[in-house]
Chains A and B, each alone.
Chain A
Amino acid sequence: MAGIHISEVSKIYTGGVKAVSSVSIDIVDGEFIVLVGPSGCGKSTLLRMVAGLEAISAGEVKIAGRVVNQIEPAERDIAMVFQNYALYPHMTVYNNLAYGLKNRGTPKAEIDTRVAEAARMLEITQYLERKPRQLSGGQRQRVAMGRAIVRKPAAFLFDEPLSNLDAKLRVSMRGEIKRLQRRLGTTSIYVTHDQLEAMTLADRLVVLNGGEIEQIGAPLEVYHAPASTFVASFIGSPAMNLVKGELHGDKLAIGPAMIALNGFAPTSGAVTVGVRAEDLRIARDDEEALPFRLEYTEELGAQRLIHGTVGDQQITAAVSPEIALSPEMRIAVDAKRLHFFSIETGKRLPGNVPAEAKLAPVEPVI
């Protein structure tokens, strides 16, 4: 059991391409960290540097207090689960699990106990004599996890382990990974491009973009106070609405409409305004509202997403399916549910979300 300390780590490829630029993350013992970002953001490269499969161009990675930059993957006391499982096709499930232990000269009796224990935990005992090709996707995934846990490493590294599974299996395997990690208490780094997976699994998530960290935080922190427009649009489904607005004193102008902010304005002038689809609601007749022109709807069952425009800007709102729709609607939002970002940098403007508003329950839609 051990913490992982990543400090100022960069990956620069020959030719000067920077895949990861001075990333620092402190991971405490037993924590489940998810690296999330679009493809090409450097999340896999970062994971592979921790694993020792890629050389670290600059910076330092410490596992359990030991600098591992120059240490072979085998000596780093980590286990990795690959996207395509990377099971040895010519070995039985038993041998797949035992391979790492055999290489380390573990006594046969000990190997048997450990493999049996891992197999029982993952419910693959009856498949131990089969070859990987005789297993389904989900079973292969379990074997891949089994291979990681038999070694009892200091850390698990997951490289998009669920992306080859179908949607239903992915949800159940997600639960199992979480349960297993809780039970074993092993420090884990998990790479995914799926924000839902990131939200549900992480103790803390690290949002990466273009090789740099956009934000580190607990899932709800990141969801409710995204540090930049990138995080705002990446985390959460549907993506947060981002529109151009202008602050005039305590009032916000979005296209033709004006909204009173009741003291929530962080600055003045042009800003990017962010608002979650579920924070928008149909306005009462007597309140200030945005004129909304409905374009199309998406049914999610419990919710209905209505897509349309305010002025010339795209807006998506999540409303109850019972609400009557009409081509022209008025939608309202509470000022404290608005997020403001700098137009130039895309960074969140400080001080615009009072502490108590952060995790306040979402008001029910009408």
Chain B
Amino acid sequence: MDTKRTTFNNRLLPYLLLAPQLAITLVFFIWPAAQAVKSSFEREDPFGFSTVFVGLTHYRQLFADPNYLDALWRTAVFAVSVTVLSMMLGLAFAAAVDRLARSAKVYTTLLVWPYAVAPVVAGVLWWFLFNTSTGLLPFFLERLGIRWDHDLNGTHAMILIIIAAAWKQISYNFLFFLAGLQSVPQSLIEAAAIDGSGPVRRFFTISLPLLSPTTFFLFIINVNYTMFDTFPIVDATTGGGPAQATTTLVYKVYQDGYVGLNIGSSSAQSVLLMLIVMLLTFVQFRFVERRVQY
């Protein structure tokens, strides 16, 4: 890397140039995060007149609360299911499109569309499709002998939000996998073909190992997505129910803080959520550093 370095004679100018970006980061990221950390140690009276420092009380209460531990476990199931489902489907579509010669562009464009749909709309869309009384899918499921009812059946509700959340993420995974597959040198595939490896075997022994950097990257992104960005989907479809069967960590933060007005506990939960994601990302990157090199 031999890029030319710009040197500033004016000592103030570089800070001025950085200021807008720093200001945005401070105001919209650091400050709220710091506020959350601060209020997680405090208890506020119902009218907002006084706050008391309570130390780790909220955290202690959370880990003693079976509702919270259930939400933690539920979120793990949700995150893993959505990630695995959307990545597998994204990869399958990418592998299919990669084999197309002529119409690949059209398919790519069509497959990317769901990503442009707002999460709430995606949620509502699936909610309609799965609607117990008017939906198309329960109608067909009924014929297969399955009585679909996500309003009463917690498992059904969970499946609904997994499908809705995964559906939105398939496009994203598809794009990255397709780019990854297309950067696998053609000559490697040809060499493998001459080496007696059929299309399926080639995919699993050549393409897939070479995609591992993409796969690990997407894994991180997808887990983070399901942890944070799926709030609108849950809210628009199940509202966390029935009987909290779809209350994920991020939804619980909203319910306890915004609906239940328990700001302290809600803040503690979001701090924990933040820590979980930071930890996951850290572990994954360490893992990626060592494992993905080839």
Contacts and interface: CB of A to CB of B under 8 A. Distances in A.
A246 B206 CA distance: 62
Interface in A256-273: none
Contact of A74 (B193, B210, B212, B294): B193
Interface string A50-93: 01110000000000000000001110001110111010111000
Contact of A84 (B185, B193, B212): B185
A80 B197 contact: no
Contacts, number: 60
Residue among B191, B192, B193 with most chain A CB within 10 A = B191
Interface of B: 185, 187-188, 190-198, 201, 205-206, 209-210, 212, 294
B195 A103 contact: yes
Contacts of B209: 90
A73 B294 contact: no
Given A86-B185, A86-B188, A88-B188, A99 B294 contact: no
Nearest to B208: A90
B201 A82 contact: no
A183 B190 CA distance: 27
A5 B211 CA distance: 40
Contact of A104 (B196, B206, B294): B196
Which 8 residue pairs across A and B have the least CB separation, nearest first? A100-B195, A103-B196, A86-B187, A86-B191, A74-B196, A90-B294, A90-B209, A73-B194
Contacts of A80: 190-191, 194
Given A74-B197, A88-B191, A88-B206, 7 more contacts: A73-B193, A80-B190, A84-B185, A86-B185, A89-B294, A99-B192, A151-B195
A99 B190 contact: no
25 contacts: A51-B190, A53-B190, A73-B194, A74-B193, A74-B194, A74-B195, A82-B190, A82-B191, A84-B185, A86-B185, A86-B188, A86-B191, A88-B206, A89-B210, A89-B294, A90-B209, A90-B212, A99-B195, A99-B197, A99-B205, A100-B195, A103-B196, A103-B197, A147-B191, A147-B195
A134 to B, nearest CB: 11
A188 B254 CA distance: 71
A86 B294 contact: no
A70 to B, nearest CB: 15
